[in-house]
Amino acid sequence: MLDLLRKRPQQWVIGVAMAFASITLLLVLYRYYSFAATYDQGIFNQVYWNGSHGRFFQSSLSSQLSTNVVHAGEVPNVAYHRLGQHFTPALLIWLPLYMLFPSPVTLSVLQVMLVTAAGLVLYKLGRCHLEAGPAAAITTAFYGANAIIGPTIGNFHDICQIPLFVFSLLLGLEKRWWWLYIPMAIVIPFVREDSGVILFSIGFYCIASRRHPWLGLGLCGYALTYMLVLTNWGMPQFSSDVSKRFMLERFGQYTQNDEASTLDIIWGMVSNPLLLLKELVTPVGGTFKYLLGQWLPFAFIPAIAPAAWLAAGFPLLQLLIAKGQSVLSINIRYAMTVVPGLAYGVILWWSAHPNLFKSLRMRRFWALCIGLSIFFTITSNPNKTLSFLIPDSITPRVYVTLPQRWAHAASVRTLLREIPPDASISATTPLVPHLSSRRELVRFPYSLQVRNDAGNVVDVDYAAADLWQLQRQAPAFSHERGLLLTAMAWVDRMLADQSYGLIAEEDGVLLMQAEQPSDAAAMARWETFRAEVNAEFMEKT
C-alpha cells in the first residue's frame, strides 16, 4: 500500500475514492431499504418533493419541530416554510437532479457523490503545495476520517455540501481561478445559516497569515454581515424559531431570556467570559476525545499546525461553546464542518516539512492512524447504520440480524403499499422517509392532525406505526421504551373510540385508517403483540 501511494499516487487516490463511494453507497442504500433511515431523511425529501411541485422549502415535518408546535401547541402546517428554522437555499442547486429522480434514495446517493467529489478536489488542492505522495495521503486521511464517514452514511443533510464547496473555494484561491473562487465564496453561507462561520474562519486565516489580507477581510465582512442580517432579520420573516428555539437550545446558557437573537447571544458571551471559557473546555474528557477523533486520521498534525487552528478554528469554536450532546458527536453532521479547515492546514504544514514524508516510519505511523480512524468509526456504529454487524447494546443485548431486518422490511413494504400516494398520514420515525413524498405527513404518536392548504385542521387519513423496531430497542434504551409504551397507549385510545380502525398488522407494524372498522385478524395479531410487550416491560416500569 505504501509503495503504491508513493509510486502511483494518482491511481491510488482514484482507487480510494471509488472504494469510499462504493462502500458508503451500499451502506446508505441498505440503511434506507432496511427502514433504518430516520426523520431528517424524511424532512429533506419532503422539502425537495414540495420544491419539485413549486412549493419551495415547505414541510409539514419541519413544522412539527417548529416553536409554534413544540411550545405553543399548534397543529403542524403543510405550508410551513423551513427557511425559518434553517436557511438552506443552496439545496436548490440539486433540485433539477431530484426532479429527474424523485426519491429519498436520490438524496442519499447525492450525499455520497458530493463527499466523494470533495476528496478529489482536496487532492487537486494538495497538489498546489505538495508532491503527489503526501497529497494522496491527505486525501486518504480525508476519506478515512470518522468525521467524514459517520455523517456520510447517516441521513441526508445540508452540510454534506460543505467539504466540496470549501475545497473548491481554496483551490480557486490557490490557482487564482476567480471564476471558481467567487461563486464558492457566495454560495457557502447559503448552505446553512451558520455556515458563514466556516467562511469567516477561512478569511481569518487569510488575514492572520498575511497571504491574502484584503481577500480575507472581504470574506470575514461578507460572512459576518450575512449571518447577522439573516438570523436577526431574514429568517424571522418566516418564523420565530431562531430566537425562540434554536438559539436557546444551543446557546441558551448565555442568556436568561425566553428568547434570544444572535446579537443577544454574542453579547452574553462577551459579557460573561468566564462562562465562555468554561463552556469551551468542558466536558474536558469529551472535548479532548473529540479533538483526538478529528486529528487522528491526519496523524495528529492539525494539533501542531497553526494554519489548521486558524482555518478550522471558528467552526470548532462554535461547537465547543455550544451545549447539547450532539455538538461533540463526531458521527453527526456538525463534525464535517471542521474537516476542510483541518485538511487545508495539514497541506500547508506538510509543504513546510517536505522531507518528513520520505521517512518510512512516518508513513507507517500515518497509515496506522488512518487504519485506527476507520476501526474506531466502525466500532462506534455511526448512526446505527452498522447494526447488522455490531449490536446496539451489549448488556442487555440488542441485536437484529441481517435476515431478520430484511424480513421485517418486506413486511413493512407490504403494508405501505396499501396507503394511497396522496393520503395524509401520521407515521413513526422509521416509516417517515418512505412516506415523505407527499404534502400531509406528521410523526406518530405526536400528532394525528395537520393544517391543510385550505387552512383547516383535519385528522389524517391513515396512521402507521412500526412498533417492532421499538420493541427490540426498548430493553436497552429508555427513550425507545417510553416511546413504545406511549405509541401503544395511543393505538389503544384510537381503537377504543373508533376514530380509526386497524386494517392491517404485520410483524409488529400497524396500519390504521380513519373511520373504518377494524379487521378481526389484524386485531387478534395486535392483541397478541400487545400482550407480549406488556408482559416484558410493564412490570419493569
Claim to verify: residue 181 and residue 107 sit in the same structural domain: yes
Q: Given pLDDT bands bounded at 50, 70 and 90, which one contains residue 258?
A: confident
Q: According to the model, what pLDDT value does residue 294 have?
A: 98
Report how far apart, in Å, the C-alpha atoms of 465 and of each of 299, 471, 505, 540 are.
46, 12, 10, 23
Give the mean model confidence (pLDDT) for residues 263-290.
Answer: 93
Q: According to the model, what pLDDT value does residue 68 have?
A: 93
Alpha-carbon span 278 to 76, nearest angstrom:
38
Q: Examine residue 20 and state whether it is found in any structural domain, yes or no.
A: yes
Q: According to the model, what pLDDT value does residue 5 have?
A: 65
Range of the structural domain that residue 362 is part of = 2-36+81-384
Comparing 318 with 246, which gets the higher pLDDT? 318
Q: Examine residue 62 and state whether it is found in any structural domain, yes or no.
A: no
Q: Examine residue 55 and state whether it is found in any structural domain, yes or no.
A: no
Q: According to the model, what pLDDT value does residue 313 have?
A: 97
- pLDDT at 8 > cutoff 60: yes
Q: According to the model, what pLDDT value does residue 325 have?
A: 73
Claim to verify: residue 230 and residue 369 sit in the same structural domain: yes
Claim to verify: residue 412 and residue 343 sit in the same structural domain: no
Question: Helix, strand, or coil here: 60?
Answer: helix
Q: How does pLDDT run across 302-356, given as a tens digit for each residue? A: 999 999 999 999 999 999 999 877 889 999 999 999 999 999 999 999 999 999 9
The grid coordinates listed for 101 are 429522480
Give the mean model confidence (pLDDT) for residues 478-483.
Answer: 92
Q: How does pLDDT run across 147-199, given as a tens digit for each residue? A: 999 999 999 999 999 999 999 999 999 999 999 999 999 999 999 999 999 99
Tell me if 98 sits within 8 A of 56, measured CB to CB: no
Choose the final residue of a domain: 384, 418, 438: 384
Q: According to the model, what pLDDT value does residue 327 have?
A: 87
Q: What is the 3-state secondary structure (H, E, C) of 206-257?
A: HHHCCCCHHHHHHHHHHHHHHHHHHHHHHHHHCCCHHHHHHHHHHHHHHCCC
Alpha-carbon span 349 to 343, nearest angstrom:
10
Q: 116: how many CB neighbours lie within 10 A of its CB?
A: 22
Q: According to the model, what pLDDT value does residue 365 have?
A: 96
pTM, 2 dp:
0.96
- pLDDT at 105 > cutoff 80: yes
Question: Helix, strand, or coil here: 395?
Answer: coil
Give the mean model confidence (pLDDT) for residues 251-261.
Answer: 91
Claim to verify: residue 220 and residue 256 sit in the same structural domain: yes
Q: Examine residue 294 and state whether it is found in any structural domain, yes or no.
A: yes
Claim to verify: residue 368 and residue 486 sit in the same structural domain: no
- pLDDT at 462 > cutoff 70: yes
Give the mean model confidence (pLDDT) for residues 24-37.
Answer: 97
Q: How many domains does the chain have?
A: 2
Claim to verify: residue 376 and residue 410 sit in the same structural domain: no
6 Cα distance to chain centroid: 35
Claim to verify: residue 257 and residue 189 sit in the same structural domain: yes
Name residues whose C-beta falls within 8 Å of residue 200's C-beta, 6 or more positions apart in sequence.
219, 220, 223, 224, 314
Strands 441-443 and 425-427: parallel
Question: Helix, strand, or coil here: 54?
Answer: coil
Q: Examine residue 108 and state whether it is found in any structural domain, yes or no.
A: yes
Alpha-carbon span 47 to 299, nearest angstrom:
39
Q: Examine residue 296 and state whether it is found in any structural domain, yes or no.
A: yes
Q: Given pLDDT bands bounded at 50, 70 and 90, which one contains residue 535?
A: confident
Claim to verify: residue 341 and residue 467 sit in the same structural domain: no
Phi, psi of 88, deg, nearest 5: -130, 55
Choose the final residue of a domain: 350, 384, 418: 384
Q: According to the model, what pLDDT value does residue 432 have?
A: 98
Claim to verify: residue 140 and residue 26 sit in the same structural domain: yes
Name which of 413, 386, 412, 383 is nearest 399 in CA terms: 386
Calculate the average pLDDT of the chain.
95
Q: Given pLDDT bands bounded at 50, 70 and 90, which one contains residue 539?
A: low
Q: According to the model, what pLDDT value does residue 272 have?
A: 93
Q: Examine residue 518 and state whether it is found in any structural domain, yes or no.
A: yes
Claim to verify: residue 288 and residue 366 sit in the same structural domain: yes
Q: Examine residue 95 and state whether it is found in any structural domain, yes or no.
A: yes
- pLDDT at 1 > cutoff 90: no
Claim to verify: residue 353 and residue 212 sit in the same structural domain: yes
Claim to verify: residue 121 and residue 261 sit in the same structural domain: yes
Choose the final residue of a domain: 321, 354, 384: 384
